Structure 1
Amino acid sequence: MPRTEGYRALLAGATGLVGFQLLRQLLQDERCRSLTVLARRPLPLLPGDEASSGKLRVISADFDHMEEALADVQADVVFCALGTTIRKAGSQEAFRQVDLGYPVALGEWAKAHGAGKMIAISAMGANARSAVFYNRVKGEMEAQLSAIGLRALQIVRPSLLLGKREEFRLGERAAIMLSPLLRLLMQGSLRKYRPVRAEDVAAFMREAAALPPDRLAPVVQIYDNHAITTSQSI
């Protein structure tokens, strides 16, 4: 579990929208005393003060060889910000590997190597029985992570993510442009569907990592989009 003098973190998915924000925030957070990043491709450029941080270690490796790549890594908190699209992955099978296979493998690594906590990004609507492929895969990922038996597992389910991506997504870009109007219209029971900024999701995960063990009950916790946007549940 996180220690009073700070925790050691492992982050997978640092090149993504939320993952990169989380990377930057963890480098600035004194409670995170060391940060190991597992990445398949080069990280985006960091500002000078963050790039020179002595607590950052980057391991470049194919996630299919995760166990070997992380052989000498120790972590108290494991962050999983992995995610892709079918278009980017190239097929449903490749999508399942990134959004299901790799997060579960990371969870198994965390369990085997004594990590006290894992915090993983899922998605609003995740349901292992859903007729929607994307939601079904996210639901299966949650179910399989929960079955591993981690000491503490926190699953975060954001709605539409606001932020600048490297790749162009037409539907998402249109929704982002309309997000001020959507937020205005989404009142009452619709508030839980409001778009959320990537940096706010990252901040939520970062604060969840610092919670002491006695506030982690039950072992598996799921935070929906409303919890993220209000940040009152942690």
Structure 2
Amino acid sequence: MPRTEGYSALLAGATGLVGFQLLRQLLKDDHCRSLTVLARRPLPHLPELAAFRDKLHVITADFDRMGEALADVQADVVFCALGTTIKKAKSQDAFRQVDLGYPVALGEWAKANEAKKLIIVSAMGANEKSVVFYNRVKGEAEALLSAIGVPELHIVRPSLLLGKREEFRPGERVAVLLSPALKLLMRGPLLSYRPVHAEDVAAFMRSLASAPAEQLAPIVNVYENHAITANQPKV
């Protein structure tokens, strides 16, 4: 695939499952010339991060003051890997703020600051008319982001994410343990529901960043789980 000459990037959600993989991959990717990370808490002190101190700029700030925190930032590509759970957020309103309010604010910043691409992790089943709260919020966020008019909006909808999380999620832990068996069973039409590793989602998002710009703008592309898993080893 042809590549661009390079881009500056902004990443929100770098302490999450997909976001941390994106952080590590973008730092090592020569197509990403500079990387600004917007985080609500300090990043972990890892030797691999220190090795990229000239490329990496971290802004720790209250996301409710996102515009102020990003006042001096410019980015060609904006990555959004923000997300939480009801258990962690403690209320539906707080969940909506993290999974809808902050991503939309980031999209508005991207539009106002002339970013070329916004690439966001959503979820399989996202639908603003869904009776399931989680799926409905994800769908509402997608609809609002689509209306902002960023030149390119890329929405990535993975299935169950595999990877090591900071918090314990019993349901996901069971699914992870069963994932080898699930992959064997999920063939044909069920391939779309195969669990996917967070690092593969990050790699897919990164490929979208360095792909040539679309000819028509604004455009909205939605990638379902099978697009992410298409290049994974078959079992």
Please state which band the TM-score falls in when normalised by the shorter chain: over 0.9
1:52 equivalent in alignment to 2:51: yes
**CA displacement at 1:221 relative to structure 2:** 0.1
Is the 1:11–1:78 contact (alpha carbons within 8 Å) kept by the matching residues of 2?
yes
**CA displacement at 1:217 relative to structure 2:** 7.5
Letter in 2 for 1:52: A
Q: For structure 2, which runs of at least 5 residues remain unmatched after alignment?
A: none
Distance (whole Å) between structure 2 residues aligned to residue 211 and residue 185 of structure 1: 33
Is the 1:119–1:156 contact (alpha carbons within 8 Å) kept by the matching residues of 2?
yes
Is the 1:8–1:77 contact (alpha carbons within 8 Å) kept by the matching residues of 2?
yes
Identity score, percent: 75
Distance (whole Å) between structure 2 residues aligned to residue 222 and residue 215 of structure 1: 17
Q: Normalised by the size of structure 1, how large is the TM-score? A: 0.95
Runs (4+) off by over 3 Å: 214-218
Distance (whole Å) between structure 1 residues aligned to residue 212 and residue 89 of structure 2: 37
Is the 2:149–2:218 contact (alpha carbons within 8 Å) kept by the matching residues of 1?
no
Distance (whole Å) between structure 2 residues aligned to residue 45 and residue 187 of structure 1: 41
Q: For structure 1, which runs of at least 5 residues remain unmatched after alignment?
A: none
Report the more deviating stretch, 214-223 or 197-206: 214-223
Aligned counterpart, 2:36: 36
Distance (whole Å) between structure 2 residues aligned to residue 52 and residue 63 of structure 1: 27
Distance (whole Å) between structure 2 residues aligned to residue 119 and residue 216 of structure 1: 17
**CA displacement at 1:43 relative to structure 2:** 1.3
**CA displacement at 1:194 relative to structure 2:** 0.4
1:219 equivalent in alignment to 2:219: yes
1:143 equivalent in alignment to 2:150: no
SS in 1 for 2:96: helix
**CA displacement at 1:215 relative to structure 2:** 6.5
Deviations 1:60-92 (A, max 9, x none): 000000000000000000000000000000100
**CA displacement at 1:231 relative to structure 2:** 4.4
SS in 2 for 1:213: coil
Letter in 2 for 1:94: A
Instruction: State the superposition RMSD in angstroms.
Output: 1.5
**Alignment CA distance shift 1:216-1:188 (3 Å):** farther
Deviations 1:112-146 (A, max 9, x none): 00000000000000000000000000000000000
Aligned counterpart, 1:83: 83
Distance (whole Å) between structure 1 residues aligned to residue 19 and residue 112 of structure 2: 23
Deviations 1:35-69 (A, max 9, x none): 000000121333x2432211100000000000000
Letter in 2 for 1:66: M
